[in-house]
Amino acid sequence: MDSAGFTSPYTPNTDDDRRKMLDAIGVDSIDDLFLDIPAERRNPALDLPPPASELELRREIEAMANRNLTPGEYACFLGAGSYRHFVPAVVRQIASRSEFMTSYTPYQPEVAQGTLQAHYEFQSLVCQLTGMEVANAGMYDGSTALAEAALMAARVTRRNRIAVFETVSPYLRDVIETYTEAPGLETNPARAGVGEHGPAVTTSSPEDGTGLPPDTACLVVQQPNFYGYFEDMAPLSKAARDAGALLVVSVDPLSLAMFRPPADFDADIVVAEGQALGVAPTFGGPYVGFFACKQKYLRQMPGRIVGKTQDTRGRAGYVLTMQTREQHIRREKATSNICTSVGLIALMSTVYMASQGKRGLRHVAELCYHKAHYAASLIERIPGYSIADRVAPSSREQIFFREFVVECPGPPSEINERLLEYGIIGGLDVSGGYAAQNGMLVCCTEVNSREEIEALASALAEIGRDYVQP
């Protein structure tokens, strides 16, 4: 029991147990452990409503949930890292089986062959998709996978500077900076420039001159970039090579069904957010991160790898081949504390990729590509609107996949509010950023019908009349 007279039913420690622990650490009471916290902050008064019955609570939560504007009820053109795609029924049917749903981690291979095989298939499909040599059994999500890639590059190169290309998502940059702060790594923005021998990449530090600094561990690139457009990977790869740095690419996995994989540009580490492959947006998670790299960097890869072998009778079997997380080996030798909570989500992506197959994935990718371009062709004809044309600084050809930036005649925040009156969730406001002063990032996937796209163009035209002078 604590000083407030509260006893937790979930903590089995007796008063005698607590007394022994307090004596061991040299304090008189539990309250002494909190003396560093200002007194006024320790137990603030909480303005809570009175207790409610289960029925009342359900009604209140349902009312709160109904305030959300959800895709399906509304036509949705919002992307920027979380995408609405059709998920075949077979994905949930298999992932919901009790033997997958209730399993946590396959520590005992003799009773976890199904889970291990699912992880192995996931790794194999990620390698086929990215063109890389090895892949792990999944990361928390795409953003933390990218941050782990930056840490891995620092370990491999023994350098302390992370160069992040200018068109990488600001959300991804925030996660990288959070992960690299504690180890004392320096994160610098990098941008496209022109050197003595053509295109070059420079950092924000004037003293660095042209090219990446010699202490750069890696160049981080997003492909397609945050604005949906493809960078020219050749000069970016060369810039990394010239500096002796690794090339880390955060890729849209669905785009790989149509476009060249990062391995073709000598990428060292490739990560991705796997949500688009079989996982619903679900208001932001849980998702799954893809992580693949060259074979020679295998020992520095975070997470774990499942391998295929044979038992004593010659039958195929699956085992945890490598585990570099701190729960399994000495902390000073571990590469990461990545845990195993993504296994079920990785299974969803595995079932999606396997059920769609090579042709199915390409068909979905082509639908996204053509619908996005159809939407762009309609919007650019509307007075006051234009398609931003400077959103892939390393490339002369402004090629986009399923997202593109619309320069609006007024603030996108206002236009988005008006679009809701038409039953439409608009794009992400990227005003004042790299792309456009009044930029809106518009996304189209295979679930957006022709009628929805034309309704968006019609609504934008009507709204635009209030901003465009006749």
pLDDT, mean of residues 388-396: 81
Higher-pLDDT residue of 46, 224: 224
Tokens, residue 19: 């007394």
Please check whether residue 47 lies inside any domain of the structure. Answer: no
Higher-pLDDT residue of 155, 208: 155
What pLDDT, on a 0 to 100 scale, did the predictor assign at position 337?
Answer: 73
pLDDT, mean of residues 260-271: 96
Please check whether residue 31 lies inside any domain of the structure. Answer: no
With pLDDT > 90 as the criterion, what percentage of the chain qualifies?
A: 72
Domain match, 345 and 362 both: no
Tokens, residue 169: 């998502």
What pLDDT, on a 0 to 100 scale, did the predictor assign at position 285?
Answer: 87
Domain count, the chain: 2
Domain match, 295 and 325 both: yes
Higher-pLDDT residue of 340, 128: 128
Please check whether residue 171 lies inside any domain of the structure. Answer: yes
pLDDT at 110 over 80: no
pLDDT, mean of residues 312-317: 91
Please check whether residue 267 lies inside any domain of the structure. Answer: yes
- Cα 226 vs. chain centroid, distance in angstroms? 12
Instruction: Give the model's confidence band at 340: pLDDT under 50 very low, under 70 low, under 90 confident, else very high.
Output: low
Supply the CATH number for residue 434's domain.
Answer: 3.90.1150.10
Domain match, 192 and 241 both: yes
pLDDT at 345 over 70: yes
What pLDDT, on a 0 to 100 scale, did the predictor assign at position 158?
Answer: 96
**Hey, which of 299-303, 336-340, 360-364 has the most confident mean pLDDT?**
360-364
Domain match, 298 and 443 both: no
Provide the mean pLDDT of the chain. 90
Domain match, 125 and 82 both: no
pLDDT at 338 over 90: no
pLDDT at 99 over 90: no
Domain match, 257 and 184 both: yes
pLDDT, mean of residues 378-382: 97
pLDDT at 378 over 70: yes
Domain match, 311 and 371 both: no
pLDDT at 137 over 80: yes
* Segments forming the whole domain that contains residue 371: 75-86+357-464
Domain match, 175 and 322 both: yes
Domain match, 123 and 234 both: yes
Residue 316 in contact with residue 308, Cβ under 8 Å?
Answer: yes
Nearest to 106 by CA among 300, 304, 285, 274: 304
Q: Which of 353, 373, 402 is the last residue of a domain?
A: 353
pLDDT at 106 over 90: no
Question: Which residues lie closer than 8 Å to 340 by C-beta, 6 or more apart?
Answer: 104, 105, 304
**How many other C-beta atoms can be found within 10 angstroms of the C-beta atom of residue 39?**
8
359-370 as b/e: b if 16+ CB within 10 A: eebeebbebbbe
Q: Which of 320, 353, 386 is the last residue of a domain?
A: 353
Domain match, 236 and 171 both: yes
What pLDDT, on a 0 to 100 scale, did the predictor assign at position 9?
Answer: 76
Please check whether residue 62 lies inside any domain of the structure. Answer: no
Residue 440: phi, psi to the nearest 5? -125, 125
Please check whether residue 25 lies inside any domain of the structure. Answer: no
List the single range of 167-171, 248-252, 332-336 with lowest mean pLDDT.
332-336
Domain match, 82 and 93 both: no
Please check whether residue 60 lies inside any domain of the structure. Answer: no
pLDDT tens-place string over residues 393-403 = 888 788 999 99
pLDDT tens-place string over residues 348-361 = 999 999 999 999 99
Higher-pLDDT residue of 145, 328: 145
Instruction: Give the model's confidence band at 199: pLDDT under 50 very low, under 70 low, under 90 confident, else very high.
Output: low
At 128 the three-state DSSP class reads helix
pLDDT at 206 over 50: no
pLDDT, mean of residues 340-350: 88
Distance CA 112, CA 106 (A): 5
pLDDT, mean of residues 334-352: 84
pLDDT at 363 over 60: yes
Domain match, 364 and 451 both: yes
pLDDT at 196 over 60: no
What pLDDT, on a 0 to 100 scale, did the predictor assign at position 5?
Answer: 61
pLDDT at 386 over 60: yes
Please check whether residue 53 lies inside any domain of the structure. Answer: no
List the single range of 156-170, 263-277, 293-307, 424-438 with lowest mean pLDDT.
424-438
pLDDT, mean of residues 245-264: 97
pLDDT, mean of residues 6-28: 86
Tokens, residue 79: 């992307």
Distance CA 440, CA 171 (A): 16
Supply the CATH number for residue 307's domain.
Answer: 3.40.640.10
What pLDDT, on a 0 to 100 scale, did the predictor assign at position 224?
Answer: 96
pLDDT at 383 over 90: yes
